[in-house]
Copies of this chain bind each other. A is one copy, B any other.
Amino acid sequence: MTNKINKNDQIKTDIIVKARELFKRFGLNKTTMEDIAQTMSKGKSTLYYYFSGKEEVLYAVAQKEIADTFGSILAEVEKQKSAQERLRAFFLKRFDVLEEKLNTYPAMVREQKKNIEIIHKIHLEFSLLERNLIKEILLYGIKSGEFAHINKKDCDSLAIAASTILSGIDIYTFVEGTVPPIGDQLNILFNITMRGVK
């Protein structure tokens, strides 16, 4: 009994591993159930004994990816003592992991593109204006003594960070087709950040 369940699971995870590899190499569209079956020297129908369909295979692969990724972040976080260092570790690791995934699944990333160039070009231009405005407001606040004194370079960095976050929200909005409903939350984040700037 336990033997059977084990064997079943073994094959399942084998499928997941193989599928994952193929997805990495060829992307979602170019990987067929036939391909997956062949790399395991099995018939295509056999896959359907273990998974209800391609989507479920993909889902299983994604689940594993999520678990692995989240695990590696968690590990990094738990190395740290203080909450501050934990948070910092989280963000840094999270950033690394994002880049790593981007490089791991180039085919899948490529599948998702079209002609964003124009909008991007336009958006970039707007971002530059915006970034300067943010910087000016910051400098204004520093000059008036309302904000703590920050050196010019950090001021620049802050503006860049802020504008990038906004760009992220822009593109998020663009892709989703709706503005993320987090007005209040951002407000609270803003208040706390302000406490730090003052």
Contacts and interface: CB of A to CB of B under 8 A. Distances in A.
A163 to B, nearest CB: 9
A159 to B, nearest CB: 8
A141 B83 CA distance: 5
Q: DSSP majority for the A interface? A: helix
Nearest to A146: B83
Interface stretch (A31-39, A40-48, A112-120): A112-120
Interface of A: 28, 58, 62, 66, 69-70, 73-74, 77, 82-84, 86-88, 90-92, 94-95, 98-99, 102, 109, 112-116, 118-120, 122, 125-126, 129-130, 133-134, 137-138, 140-141, 144, 146-147, 154, 157-158, 160-162, 164-180, 182-198
